[in-house]
Amino acid sequence: MALINLLKRKKAPEKKNKTVKRLKTKAESTGNSQEQLVSTAQSKTRQEKSFSRDHSLLLHPHITEKATDLLKKNQYTFNVRLKANKVNVKKTIEGIYGVNVVGVRMVKIPPKARRFGRNKGWRKGYRKAIVKIKEGQKIEVLPR
């Protein structure tokens, strides 16, 4: 009996965003096409989402002896999230530091097995981005 009731039950209509409804009313009053206004509302929400993700994409600058040698070539090294890609890293660096990124190289460092006496464990793996910026521009990695 329960299976029959599940099949007979109708699905509730999906709720729409309030912004879309508000834009539709504006479209009716101005005479513009509704599709254009709805698409602009969706693009604004996409931009807001990508901006909120940008700052969490970079974890911290990767400061080692090799990374400091790369500073002479205008290349900066950052630890990034594992799901980050070159395009996202480039947009994030340009947005946060206000520089022009020429190229991005990604390196995935795998986790490694470590021992501490009898105990065995794993060192965490991470992802590293090497970012090359335009000549004459600079990023302040460590505040002085």
pLDDT value, residue 30? 57
pLDDT value, residue 109? 95
Radius of gyration of the chain (CA): 24
Cα torsion angle, 35, 41, 42, 43, sign: positive
Tens of pLDDT, residue by residue over 18-75, are: 555 555 555 455 555 555 555 555 555 555 444 444 678 999 999 999 999 999 999 9
Q: Is the pLDDT assigned to residue 8 strictly greater than 90?
A: no
pTM for the model: 0.60
pLDDT value, residue 51? 46
Cα–Cα distance measured from residue 80 to residue 129, given in angstroms and rounded to the nearest whole number = 7
The model's confidence at residue 129, banded by pLDDT at 50, 70 and 90, is very high
Cβ-based neighbour number of residue 32 at 10 Å: 12
Residue whose structure tokens are 């970012």: 131
Cα–Cα distance measured from residue 133 to residue 139, given in angstroms and rounded to the nearest whole number = 9
Q: Is the pLDDT assigned to residue 88 strictly greater than 60?
A: yes
| Nearest Cα residue to 80 out of 62, 94, 98 | 62
pLDDT value, residue 105? 97
Cβ-based neighbour number of residue 61 at 10 Å: 13
Tens of pLDDT, residue by residue over 96-117, are: 999 999 999 999 999 999 999 9
Strand runs labelled E in the chain: 58-61, 75-80, 101-109, 112-116, 119-123, 126-133
- Which two structure tokens, joined as six digits, stand for 104? 């991005």
